[in-house]
Amino acid sequence: MLLRISLIVAIIAGLAAGGLGYYEATTQIPAIAKQRDDENTAKKDALGKLATSERNLKQTKSELATTQQELSDTKGERDKAVARAEAQSKRADELNDKLAKTTAERDEAQNSLAAYKATDLTPDQIIRLNKTLKDANAQIVAINGEKAVLQRRLNRVQAKLDTIIGSNSVVELRSDLKGKIVVVDPKWDFVVLNIGDDQGALQDGEMLVSRDGRLVAKVVIRSVQKDRCIANVVPGWKLSEMVEGDDATPAHPAS
């Protein structure tokens, strides 16, 4: 009896479990299937949107590349235009300079032509006068050179003559004669000055040696060369030691 009751209870429990499972299968499987379908639909929508976004992105990149290329081309054209403008401006400046120069040359030519017409001279006469003027200028230069040489010789002769005439006479030197000591020999009390015959130095001419405006000594020229001379210290006139670079000026400048 107990066994029968147990079997009945087991059968009832199995039926209940089967009914419950059937109920769950009939109610939940459609929900799961719907959820699956909804997820598939959402996935497809997402994939579609992603594909659309990728196409839009690709199109945007293409448009960006096109825009960048157009910008680069525009910049290149701008740079070329700027270079052409600068070249044209430089050319305009050059033309303005040439125009000003040409205008000045034209005005000078017109003035020369007017001056030429005012002389009533023929071209041959103008050429001869120009040659004569150049020859005269060359002769003047040569004469001035000879005059300078003769003047230096005259000064030397005059200095010797003054020495011969009397011991009290002095040799006057050019007032603008200025020199510097280049060599000093303290043992023999003589110096070498950087002035000579070309500058107007004369034998027996006396020079005052100074440094920073203070008198150092007085020397007398004993030997004159082309561009230097040798001078001895005048006894009693050596106030301090002479050094290279000391200034020398005439003790008896010509008036």
Q: What is the pLDDT of residues 12-52, one digit of tens each?
A: 766 666 655 555 556 666 667 677 777 778 777 778 788 88
One domain, residues 2 and 98: yes
Find which of 16-25, 126-135, 150-159, 173-182 is predicted with most confidence, using mean pLDDT: 173-182
37 assigned to some structural domain: yes
One domain, residues 12 and 108: yes
Task: Share the mean pLDDT of the chain.
Answer: 79
pLDDT recorded at residue 2: 66
Structure tokens at 47: 């994939």
One domain, residues 4 and 83: yes
Express as a percent the part of the chain with pLDDT over 90. Answer: 27
Structure tokens at 118: 């005012």
Contact between residue 97 and residue 103 where contact means Cβ atoms under 8 Å apart: no
How far is it, in rounded angstroms, from Cα 13 to Cα 6? 10
Note the residue count of the chain: 255
* CATH number of the domain encompassing residue 244: 2.40.10.340
**Total of domains in the chain:** 2
Express as a percent the part of the chain with pLDDT over 70. Answer: 73
pLDDT recorded at residue 167: 46
Place of tokens 């040696």: 209
Whether 194 has a pLDDT exceeding 90, the answer reads yes
pLDDT recorded at residue 107: 77
Angle, CA 130 vertex, CA 129 and CA 132 arms, to 5°: 60
Of 119, 145, 160, the one marking the end of a domain is 119
Supply the range of the domain harboring residue 10.
1-119
Provide the sign of the torsion angle of the four alpha carbons 99, 101, 102, 107, taken in this order: positive
* pLDDT tens string 77-136: 777 777 777 777 787 788 878 888 888 878 777 777 677 667 666 777 777 767 777 776
> Is this model's pTM higher than 0.85 or not?
no
128 assigned to some structural domain: no
- 41 or 216, greater pLDDT: 216
One domain, residues 63 and 174: no
One domain, residues 7 and 106: yes
How far is it, in rounded angstroms, from Cα 127 to Cα 135? 12
Of 100, 119, 138, the one marking the end of a domain is 119
- 95 or 244, greater pLDDT: 244
How far is it, in rounded angstroms, from Cα 219 to Cα 199? 17
One domain, residues 107 and 214: no
One domain, residues 104 and 193: no
Place of tokens 């125009």: 99
> Measured between alpha carbons, how far is residue 191 from residues 171, 198, 224, 225, 253 in Å?
19, 19, 12, 14, 20
Task: Name the residue type at position 127.
Answer: I
